[in-house]
Amino acid sequence: MTPLMIALLILAGVAILIAIGFLNNAVETAKVERVRLKIELADRLRRCGQINEAFPGQFMSADLKLLVTRLELNIVQRSLALDKKNEALLSRLEELEAEIAKGPDIPITNAAPPIMTEAQAKEINYHLEGLHHQVIRATQEGYLQQTESRFWVNHIRHVLVLLHIEFFNNLGQQAFQDDQPGQARLAFERGVQYLKKQPDPTAYSEQLDYMNKLLKRANGMVLTNTRITADQASELTAGLNELNAAEEEGMKKVIYD
């Protein structure tokens, strides 16, 4: 074997080793990417499930329910492409397809609790942020068209405004019931300020007028209570003055008698 052939064999061996190294690296990278994608899809599926079940019924229309169900179906289908024999995914796939087949008659079983606390409002806001993220990702992946995506992004913003309106209104009404007009005024003031900050306040002019009327009513109650308190204080002061005068007169009689 000539030195040239030996050199060629060595070079070939080195090339084979390098190729094997690249192949092994590619295989490992593909495995890591597969695992990463499965984890990501599982998290998105969990978030979709939470939105589907926990989103308040007063904000959940049939069209929105269909959207969330479609988004969840898309994630299930992508997950099955990575794990074709997953029984839980296969079962969920059948359920989602059956729900979507009902179209506008899809049942809405979501509870509709009144939004009375900051914690409730924050939780719903969290679901809205999650829904917005799912819509954007579905659009980036080509599942939703740009026009449909823009519609739902705008709708999510609208629901966020409705959430704040209900929250501030409920806070104020509860304060009225608890005979706390000062707290009611604060709630309605926050509502009015929030609506005025919207990009298009005229879109919520009716709600703004209603909130302003409630704010005016709360202001009137606060002023009335202030006047009553002032009158009571005046009556108490006058009574104390009369009592002090009577005591002083009595002391004079005792001294001079």
Residue 184: which of 163, 204, 170 has the closest Cα?
170
* Cα 162 versus chain centre, distance: 11
Query: Which CATH number is 161-235's, of 1.10.287, 1.20.58, 1.10.10, 1.20.5?
Result: 1.20.58
Q: What is the pLDDT of residue 151?
A: 96
pTM: 0.76
Residue 77: which of 65, 63, 52, 94 has the closest Cα?
94
Q: What is the pLDDT of residue 231?
A: 46
What does residue 32 show for φ and ψ, rounded to 5 degrees? -60, -40
CA distance 171 to 190: 10
Which residues does 142 contact at the CB level (< 8 Å), separation at least 6?
none
The tally of CA atoms less than 13 A away on the side-chain side of residue 12 is: 6
Q: What is the pLDDT of residue 171?
A: 94
Q: What is the pLDDT of residue 250?
A: 46
Q: What is the CA radius of gyration of the chain?
A: 35
Cβ atoms of 175 and 181 within 8 Å: the answer is yes
Where does the chain have alpha helices with state H?
3-54, 62-82, 87-101, 118-140, 146-177, 181-196, 205-256
Q: What is the pLDDT along the chain (257 residues), one digit of tens a residue?
A: 566 666 656 666 666 767 666 666 666 666 767 778 888 899 999 999 999 989 999 999 999 999 999 999 999 999 998 888 899 999 999 999 999 999 999 999 999 999 999 999 999 999 999 999 999 999 999 999 999 999 999 999 999 999 999 999 999 999 999 999 889 999 999 999 999 999 887 889 999 999 999 999 998 888 876 665 544 545 445 544 554 544 445 444 443 44
Q: What is the pLDDT of residue 243?
A: 45
Cβ atoms of 188 and 168 within 8 Å: the answer is yes
Q: What is the pLDDT of residue 230?
A: 46
